[in-house]
Amino acid sequence: MSRIFFLLVAIFSLDSFATVISDENQDLIYNILHYGKTGSLGLGYIFTKLQSEYFSNLFLAIVVAVPLAFFIHYKIIGPKIFSHDKKKLYLFTIFNRTIHAIAAFSFLLIIPTGLVMIFGSFFHGGAFVRICQDIHVIVTPLFLISVIPMFLMWAKDMLFTNDDIKWMKILGGYLSKEKKPIPAGKFNAGQKMWFWVCTLGGILMIITGAFLYFQDVPVGLLATLGLTKIAFLRICIIMHNVLGMMVTALFITHVYMSMFAIKGAVHSIITGYKEEEELEILHSSFYKELKDNKKI
């Protein structure tokens, strides 16, 4: 009797196991189409090529070439130095500075841990890469809570103006040692580019990253767009990586500008006060506007 019971249990378990497997297979077969087949957007080949060859090499090029270019800039042209003993102007409120500090803290963890994942095979995978992946995910909500207020507090000042075209033509005057007035409002064209990439780009990175992490995608909705789950996740990875490259390159630029290229500039985002001379030279239109409005 007991033998028959165990046999029945065994048959039942095997049957349910087979059902799970076949359901999973159906799910996989439904979502993963063969390369090039209609519905997969033909992304399989491009995606594998990008993932296995291009992305890591491009990231490597960025983390080597961008700091190297700035090192050469520092050695040949050198920093812009403004007097820190003269008048200062209050530019960043405590709210601005707190939001900025949260974003800076989160990026200081998100970027290096993202790079560890990109170069995962160099680090031989394993626990170190997994811990970095966890940090990358855990710290993202900190960026999320800072990026929305940052967008709201600065978006108006970051709209492009004619000054920005002039600024671009002379590359912000950074290729010369001369201290002559540069056309720029409260923020210059370079700072504006950084702002839009780190806010709009950052929000897109959070969204694509969330899809990749939770893998919970609206399969039905995607199907109406002719997309399979795997094609959608591949698009998310490509977008996440391309934006990641832009953010990494501009983040290095931002840190170089505020810590090295303009000596002592970083104090403005810590104390809120900026040197008058720095404003007069590097943000000449804004300085003129303040003078005209008798604000200084």
Q: Which pair of tokens denotes residue 273?
A: 């006060």
Cβ proximity to ligand HEM: between 31 and 106 the closer is 106
Give φ, ψ of 55 to 5 degrees: -60, -50
Q: Smallest distance from the beta carbon of 143 to ligand HEM, in angstroms?
A: 7
Is residue 103 involved in binding ligand HEM (CB under 6 A)? yes
Within 44-182, strands assigned E span 88-90
Cβ proximity to ligand HEM: between 44 and 185 the closer is 185
Angle, helices 202-214 vs 229-256, to 10°: value is 140
- Using CB under 6 A, which residues numbered 171 to 200 contact ligand HEM? 187, 191, 194-195, 198
Indicate left, alpha or beta for 217 from its phi (over 0: left) and psi (-120 to 50: alpha).
beta
Lay out the site mask for ligand HEM across 240-259 (x = CB under 6 A, - = otherwise): --------------xx--xx
Residue 182: Cβ within 10 Å count = 20
Of 151, 193, 199, the residue nearest 172 (C-alpha): 193
Find the binder of ligand HEM among 116, 265, 285, 287 (CB under 6 A).
265
Cβ proximity to ligand HEM: between 32 and 255 the closer is 255
The C-alpha torsion from 197 through 198 and 199 to 201, rounded to 10°, is 50
Contact (Cβ atoms closer than 8 angstroms) between residue 269 and residue 100: yes
How many residues of this chain interact with ligand HEM, rule: CB under 6 A? 19
- Using CB under 6 A, which residues numbered 275 to 294 contact ligand HEM? none
Q: Smallest distance from the beta carbon of 175 to ligand HEM, in angstroms?
A: 19
- Which residues of this chain interact with ligand HEM, rule CB under 6 A? 100, 103-104, 107-108, 154, 187, 191, 194-195, 198, 254-255, 258-259, 265-266, 268-269
